[in-house]
Structure 1
Amino acid sequence: MGLEIDLTIRPEVTPFFDPQSNTFSYVVREPHGSACAIIDPVMEFDPAAGRLTYDSADQMIGFIRENGLTLEWIIETHVHADHLSGAPYIQDQLGGQIGIGEHVQEVQDVFGKIFNEGTEFQRDGSQFDRLFSDGDTYTVGEMTGHALHTPGHTPACMVHVIGDACFVGDTLFMPDGGSARADFPGGDAGQLYDSIQRVLSLPDETRLFICHDYGPGGRAISWETTVAEQKANNIHVGGGKTREEFVAFRTARDAELKVPSLILPSLQVNMRAGDVPEDEDGNMVLKMPLNKL
C-alpha cells in the first residue's frame, strides 16, 4: 500500500442515516481538537412533489455547531447515483472545501452528453474546490487524510483514510451486504475487485465506514466494520474468492438490478458538486432524458 497510516490516531466518527436512500453521511473530528470533515452529505428530494429539503444536512450542521467544531472539508467519495448531495448547502453555512476524485471529469463528460448539457457546463471538475489524485494527502486539523483511487463502481470512486478510519464509499458494503454494482457507465467489475483488494490490504484493525446499508435479512442497520471482518466474512469477496469468481457473480447480479430511483436527478446535481441546474430565469430545474440509461 505504501501509506503512512497512523493507527494510533482514532478520529471520532458520528454517522447520520438517510432512510430514503439508505445512505450514511459522517462527521469526522480529530480526537483532541475541533477540526472536522463531512463525508457524503445528503440533500433530500421528493420526486413526486419536485421538492428539495435539507433535514439531514441541518442535523449535521446542528451537530457541528453544538460541539463547537470547525468544518474544513466536505468530501464526496464519488458522484452518487442514489441521492443528491447536500455539500453546497452545508458549505454556505459552515465553510469548508468540497473535494472529490479527479476522475469526476470522466463522469462529467459521459453524463454531460446524456443530459445534453451545453458548453456552459464545464467538464473539468472546476465546480469542486479540490480534485484528489491517487495518493494525495490533506489535513483535518492535525490529522492526515489519504485519498486512494478505487474505481469499479464508478471511474471517480475514492476511499479516504483518516487515522484508523477508512471511508469506503460504495466500494464495499457490510460483510453480509457484499459489494456495490459495477454496471453504471464507466463501471467495471474487475476494477472493483482490484479496488476492494486494495482496501483489504490495509491493516486488519482498520475501521471501515460504509456509505449504504440495506439491513439484509431484516437485521438492524449497520455502518461500521473492519478490514479483518471483511476479509473473513464478506459474501462477495471474503474467504479468498478469486477475481474471476467475483467478476462472474457481479456481472450476473448486476443484470438483475433495477436502476436507482433517483439516478437522473442525482447525477445531474452531483456532477455539479451538489448545485442544482437553473434555467435562464434562475429557477432550479432538472432534466429527464428518456431511454438513455
Structure 2
Amino acid sequence: MAEFVLLGIFHSSDMQAWLFIVFLFIYLFILTGNMLVFVATVLNHALHTPMYFFLRHLSLLDICYTSVTLPQMLVHLISERKTISFLGCAVQMFFFMFLGTTVCYLLAIMAYDRYLAICHPLRYVRFMTRRACLLLISGCWVTGLSISIVQTSLIFSFPFCGSDVINHFFCDVPPMVRLHCSNPYTNYLERILIVFLVLITPLVFILLTYVLIIAAILKMNVADGRKKALGTCSSHLFSVVLFYGTAVFTYVRPSLVFPDPTDKLLCLTYTVAPAVLNPVIYSLRNKQVKDALWNMLAKTTNFEGT
C-alpha cells in the first residue's frame, strides 16, 4: 500500500472553504498566543522559575503538537487530492505520538512542581534546582520519544489490507488499527499500550498529586494562603481536565460506541482546544504572565515608535 486517502472531518464539499478559514484562524492564534507566552517568560527574568520553565515547554509543545496535523488538514481542505504517502503517514503518527506523550508527562511534572511548592515550600528551592528541572523535562521528551518509537513501529509492522481510506483528518492510532489484517487481540493490545503508558500512568500520578495538594490546602489556617495555593493550581488543573477529559474518553471507550464524525470531533477537541486555550488560561489567570506580556508589547510598541 503506497498511500492512504484521508477523508477529513466532514465529507461535505460545501463546508470546505469555511472550515479552511476557521482552522487557519485557529492555527494562527495557536502560533501567536503560545509564542507570546514563550517569549514573554524568556525575556522576563522574574519568570525564570521552575513553574514558568515548564510552562515555556508546554507552549512550545502546543505549537509543535498542532503543527503535526493542522497544516496538512488545511491543505486538504482546499485541494482535490486528499492523500498521504505510507511513509508520510508513519512520520505523522510518530510525531503526533511523540509530542502528545510528552505533553501528558509534562502535565504530570507540572503537577509535581505544584505539589512541592504547596506541600513542601521550605524544601522547594533545594529540590527544584535548574539541574533537576532539566532532568525532569528531558525525561518527558525521552519518554515520549521511546513510547512513540515502539507504538509507531508496532502499528506499521503489521500488514494493511482492504481499503486504503482513513476516515479521519490525520493518521491517528484507532483509524489506522482498523485497517490492519491482524486479529482483534493484536488491535486490543495496541490500544492498551497507548491507553496505559500514554494516558493512564501520568493521569493517575496527577490525581494522586492533587489529592495531596488538596489535603495540604485544607490544613492551612490562613484564608489568603488557601486562595493563593488554589490560584497557582487552577490554570494547570484546567489544562489537565481539558486535555485528558477528551483524550481518555476517545481512547478508552470501545471503538463502536460513537459514529466516526463524533469520534473525529472528540479527537479534534483534545488536539486543538488545549493549544488554543492554554495561552488564554495562563495569561488571564496569572498576573505575572499577564504583566510580562504587557511589558513586552509595550517595549515593542515603543521601539517601533522611535
TM-score range, shorter chain: under 0.3
Higher Cα radius of gyration: 2
Query: What is the TM-score of this pair, normalised by structure 2?
Result: 0.27
- TM-score of the two chains, using structure 1 as the length reference: 0.28
> Which protein, 1 or 2, shows the higher relative CO under an 8 Å CA cutoff with sep ≥ 6?
2
More strand by share: 1
